[in-house]
């Protein structure tokens, strides 16, 4: 055994609402980013932290990069599972990978990079309590 930790990962289920679809009846492409945000927020919550607590203490996570690859459309009333994995983290950045499934069918995949900043928009190290709770 190498002693390496398994990547931090979690899942969240989201049902596509009618208002989230486009004229073709597909989940609108912009809503994947909303779902990614919800999934990573829940991953943080699963670790015993909330984004609100981080903000209250002056630590903001700014999205600096996001990518989505759409493979197959999701539709109204589909129950989606979004798997979120932290693929890399540094003292100031966190990178996530996302996979969107309907049952076992991969519909989309994506990635994002978040930077830790203060209220003035300056890069700052992530707090020790954040890094400690990310086991």
Catalytically annotated residue among 22, 46, 56, 78: 22
Structure token digits, residue 103:
């049952």
Residue 95: closest CA among 134, 57, 46, 122: 134
What span, in angstroms and rounded, lies between the C-alpha atoms of 79 and 85? Answer: 20
The predicted model scores a pTM of 0.90
Domain residue ranges of the chain, discontinuous segments joined by +: 9-133
Question: In angstroms, rounded to a whole number, what is the distance separating the alpha carbons of residues 76 and 24?
Answer: 10
Residue pair 69/33 in contact (Cβ under 8 Å)? The answer is no
Mean pLDDT, the chain, whole residue set: 92
Q: Is residue 65 packed enough to be buried (19+ CB in 10 Å), middle (13-18) or exposed (0-12)? A: exposed
- Topology, domain 9-133: Thiol Ester Dehydrase; Chain A (3.10.129)
Instruction: State the Rg of the chain over Cα.
Output: 16
Q: Copy the structure tokens of residue 83.
A: 């798997």
Sheet holding 9-15, edge to edge: 9-15, 79-89, 93-102, 105-117, 60-70
What is the per-residue pLDDT across 41-95, written as a single tens digit (0 to 9) for each? 999 999 888 899 989 999 999 999 999 999 999 999 999 999 999 999 999 999 9
Q: What percent of the chain has pLDDT over 90?
A: 81
**CB contact at 8 A, 108 and 63:** no
Residue 132 is predicted with a pLDDT of 66
Share of the chain above pLDDT 70, in %: 92
**Can 22 be counted among the known catalytic residues?**
yes
């Amino acid at each position: 055994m190498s002693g390496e930790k398994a990547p931090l990962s979690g899942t969240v289920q989201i049902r596509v609402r009618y208002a989230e679809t486009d004229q073709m009846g597909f989940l609108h492409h912009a809503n994947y980013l909303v779902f990614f945000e919800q999934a990573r927020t829940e991953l943080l919550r699963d670790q015993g932290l909330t984004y609100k607590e981080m903000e209250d203490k002056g630590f903001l996570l700014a999205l600096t990069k996001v990518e989505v690859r759409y493979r197959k459309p999701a539709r109204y009333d589909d129950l989606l599972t979004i798997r979120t994995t932290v693929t890399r983290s540094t003292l100031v950045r966190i990178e996530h990978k996302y996979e969107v499934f309907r049952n076992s069918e991969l519909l989309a995949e994506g990635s994002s990079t978040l930077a830790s900043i203060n209220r003035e928009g300056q890069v700052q190290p992530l707090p020790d309590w954040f890094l400690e709770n990310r086991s």
